[in-house]
Copies of this chain bind each other. A is one copy, B any other.
């Protein structure tokens, strides 16, 4: 933490800042400068200490700017945890050297629809099956999912096909229910900062697939992961799925692909990209999927529906089985180039 004093700050103002810092049991370090003086706090501070110190200094005269010099996450940080994490779900590995495809429809609509989706997904070479049972929908008038009935279908279809399954859980009190039926718990983008949910999901012991909120900075995203890690769950997979768009006329979100190398540099956790939500338009999914692999992602989540035009949700961004299969072929070729196992 660095406190920049205003140009012309008096000695009394400087002393007041130093005194205020000392009241928090840390020792300030005065850094003379040519036109302005800075005061550093060389101690490791807790988030609470930072809050308090910042609040107490904001009230003082002569303070120009307070800058935080350190990153706020620790457990999620590659700096403090030098080995990259591999999340292994029933033998499917998210981590260095692998590239995992998660495919399936937005929603589980019926046994027939989901079973057919699963067989198509598997035939195309994907290892993980997605499908929503509890659907967070912007409008109360949209299809809200089959609820537990959907989870039962997922469990049955997962067993029949041998695919690993993933579905979203929307609240802490439903974690134990969803965890009974699925292999990976998804925390949706709208729930990234639903802290009671994060805590319950972490405690369940299930691998967690954490989607980035469209408004989240990298630090906020990694602090949400920090909740999961802090509650003892090490099997955390991050997912970039698009941030608030500059232009909603052509895509639903702005897929922030550069977040992949940024995250890979700063965290040990695997990073998956969802180009279906990231663009919201089926024809942009394939180019962005391939781009995500080149950007360094550890896998993809892609929506595929046996008949997108009849989908009960997100039909506009779902691939047809043919498009999905064709994309999988392309990705397999590319994965060879990248030295990744699919």
Q: Which of A32-40, A84-92, A157-165 contacts B (4 or more CB under 8 A)?
A: A32-40
**Number of chain A residues close to chain B: CB under 8 A:** 118
Say yes or no for A194: interface residue by CB 8 A criterion: yes
Q: What copy number does this chain have within its complex?
A: 4
Say yes or no for A61: interface residue by CB 8 A criterion: no
- Beta-carbon contact of B251 and A262 below 8 Å: yes
- Beta-carbon contact of B69 and A226 below 8 Å: no
Shortest A126–chain B CB gap in Å is 19
Cross-chain contact of A310 among B56, B191, B217, B255 (Cβ < 8 A): B56
- Beta-carbon contact of B54 and A44 below 8 Å: no
Binary contact readout A195-219 vs B (1 if CB under 8 angstroms, 0 otherwise): 1110000000000000001110111
- Beta-carbon contact of A4 and B69 below 8 Å: yes
- Beta-carbon contact of A294 and B293 below 8 Å: yes
Given contacts A59-B308, A290-B294, contact A215 B217 (CB under 8 A): no
- Beta-carbon contact of A294 and B287 below 8 Å: yes
- Beta-carbon contact of A250 and B287 below 8 Å: no
- Beta-carbon contact of A215 and B218 below 8 Å: no
Say yes or no for A238: interface residue by CB 8 A criterion: no
A residues 30-53 near B (Cβ < 8 Å) are: 31-36, 38, 40, 42-44, 46-48, 51-52
Task: Provide the residues of chain B in CB contact with A291, threshold 8 Å.
Answer: 257, 291-292, 294-295
Say yes or no for A243: interface residue by CB 8 A criterion: yes
Given contacts A137-B195, A291-B295, A309-B59, contact A33 B42 (CB under 8 A): yes
Binary contact readout A114-157 vs B (1 if CB under 8 angstroms, 0 otherwise): 00000000000000000000001111111100000000000000
- Beta-carbon contact of A79 and B6 below 8 Å: yes
- Beta-carbon contact of B246 and A260 below 8 Å: no
Task: Provide the residues of chain B in CB contact with A293, threshold 8 Å.
Answer: 294
Cross-chain contact of A261 among B140, B196, B283 (Cβ < 8 A): B283
A residues 59-73 near B (Cβ < 8 Å) are: 59, 64-65, 67, 69-73
- Beta-carbon contact of B195 and A36 below 8 Å: no
Say yes or no for A186: interface residue by CB 8 A criterion: no
Say yes or no for A340: interface residue by CB 8 A criterion: no
